[in-house]
Amino acid sequence: MEHPAAACTLPRMNEWPNGWSGDQNGNRYGYGSGSAEPEGARAMPQVRRDAGPGYQRHEPPMPASMSPRRGATVPPQQSQGYDDSYDDGYNTGQVYGGGRGRGGGGYDDDYGPAGRGRPRPRWGKRIKWTVITLVAVLAVTSVATYFWADGKLRRKVDLSKVIDRPETGDGTNYLIVGSDSREGMTAEQKRKLHTGSAEGKRTDSMMILHDGSNGPTLISLPRDSDVEIPTFVGSDSGKKYPGTGRHTKLNAAYAEDGPELLVRTVEYNTKLHIDHYVEIGFAGFANIVDAIGGVEMDLPKAIKDKDSGADFPAGKQTLNGQQALAYVRTRHAFAQQDLDRTKNQQKFLATLASQTATPATVLNPFKLYPTMGAGLDTLVVDKDMSLWSLGEMFFAMKGVTGGEGKSMNMPVSGSNGGNLVWDKAKLRQLVQQLNNDEKVTVSGN
């Protein structure tokens, strides 16, 4: 009895050229016959004639474009013993054509040499997106840092309360004040830093920093300078206090009515317009030094002062926050006391700025943010101070050490018993050069 499947496929096999349905010996192809069946029919079942009526395999039909029965161009199988012009309908293995398969030759634009299957790296595009990502991260970080730092600035000094001000000149003038404020300090910190426990605030150091086109100029104002307290308006009361010609030490103006009266007194006695005010207390100063890992100083001679706690040998050494504060406050160890102290203060502050503005600090967030935080937490500035102006002041201070500027004391002509008297002629020349943004030729003490 003939197998039903064979009966179903017989009409299809008769469609072969010359009406063949098997080989010359009567054997049929497929269905387990032991004849010399084309190998592709068994080893590659996906390569077949299109499914049609009577086709028993449960597979989806081939696309019309790929079917030998529907006119697709399929390379003929070359079988030994058959007519070369005979197309038996079987594919030689290159099923889909197109030349991009693993078995084909040539070069694939998307995957490199044919047959490898891995895309070529597109380095240009990768580099471009890496750069774009880095720029975006830096931009976001910079903006976030700006707002973080701007929010920390303590803008407490209102220079609009200062009356009868001199006209502004060229360049920018900063009044930099180191106060003996003990705000926020514990009893242990006061003992460790030798600050004592005095109430209120006094100025321990005062400097004018001029930043102009001819380089920065740093001028120390001795706290024992003899000055006249002019007419002023109280910073809290708003009451006007007429001047009486009263003379006193410069730091007494700060103790009497704070930063606004200090600015008014400096402007009145120098005729130099002050653009910005910056103040830092004891604790903030020490914290900044510790945040950058100390400041290296080269001391020409040993210093010892029991009042400030200074005890340093001569030579190069790195001062921590406590030692740095003792160094800038020392006065009794020097012959000229306040004048010598102001020189050391200038030297230290310029060195501090120079060592802070280094790639090791600026590019290291673990050092940059603690340093900025330590300074911004304790800085007191005027209400018009911007981060940009504060940065310009910082780099101008750095320029003093770098040889781009000059540091000096206010010219002094002598004393009137306990207070230092400024040299009026040199002062007028100095202020004229600063207002005109000229190179400073005046020498100080």
Q: Could you tell me the CA-to-CA distances from 211 to 129, 245, 322, 389 in Å, in that order?
A: 41, 32, 30, 11
Pairwise CA distance, residues 256 & 203, whole Å: 11
Amino acid at 222: P
Q: What is the pLDDT of residues 324-336, one digit of tens each?
A: 888 888 887 776 7
Spans of all domains in the chain: 155-436
Strand ranges in 8-128 using DSSP code E only, listed in sequence order: 107-108, 112-113
pTM (2 decimals)?
0.66
Q: 407-436 pLDDT, tens per residue?
A: 899 999 988 888 999 999 999 999 999 999
d(CA 198, CA 181): 9
Per-residue confidence (pLDDT) for residue 5, from 0 to 100: 44
Say what the pLDDT of residue 316 is.
93
CATH number at 155-436: 3.40.630.190
Question: Count of CB atoms within 10 A of residue 364's CB?
Answer: 13
pLDDT tens digits for range 247-305: 999 989 998 999 999 999 999 999 999 999 999 877 778 888 888 889 999 998 899 98
CA 115 to chain CA centroid, nearest Å: 47
Distances (CA, A) of 226 to 229, 273, 338: 10, 19, 13
Report the pLDDT value the prediction gives residue 285, as an integer from 0 to 100. 81
pLDDT at 201: 65
Please name the residues in contact with 139: beta carbons below 8 A apart, sequence gap of 6 or more: none
Spell out, as residue ranges, where the chain has pLDDT lower than 50: 1-35, 37, 40-43, 47-51, 55, 69-72, 74, 79-106, 108-112, 114, 197
The answer to whether 190 and 413 have CB atoms below 8 angstroms apart is: no
Contact present, 177 and 277 (Cβ < 8 Å): yes
Quick one: which of 228, 221, 260 has its CA closest to 243? 228
